[in-house]
Amino acid sequence: MTIMRTLKEDELTVKIFGRLETVTAPKLEEGLKDSLQGVKTLIMDLEDLEYISSAGLRVLFSAQKTMNKQGRMIVRNVNEDVMEVFEVTGSVDVLTIEKA
């Protein structure tokens, strides 16, 4: 998994490449923890995310919880496979998902 961060004023875009699973989720979690201070909008760009596990979902939910206190989080460019996981797990009811 590769993570690319772009910060513009108080908007942080995090683009994830590869697989977000048990082995890679802690890397994203740690990176977000260090990056969210002062951020009002967090955009998670999942266009190049191939797979997400329950560990990856937990990181997204944790980021959502943090952003609920200081702004908002938007999940963008979700492919069919990842969207299916979101739908089966009920994540579509918790996350703000939009197409760019």
The predicted-structure confidence for 18-65, as pLDDT tens digits, reads as follows: 999 999 999 999 999 889 999 999 999 999 999 999 999 999 999 999
- How many Å apart are CA 46 and CA 9, to the nearest integer? 21
CA 69 to chain centre: 16
Mean pLDDT of the chain, nearest integer: 95
Query: In which domain, by residue range, is 33 found?
Result: 2-98
- Give the chain's domain count: 1
Provide the whole-model pTM.
Answer: 0.93
Q: What percentage of the chain carries pLDDT values higher than 70?
A: 99
CATH assignment at residue 29: 3.30.750.24
Q: How many CB atoms lie within 10 A of CB 8?
A: 8
Can you give the pLDDT at residue 100?
Answer: 55
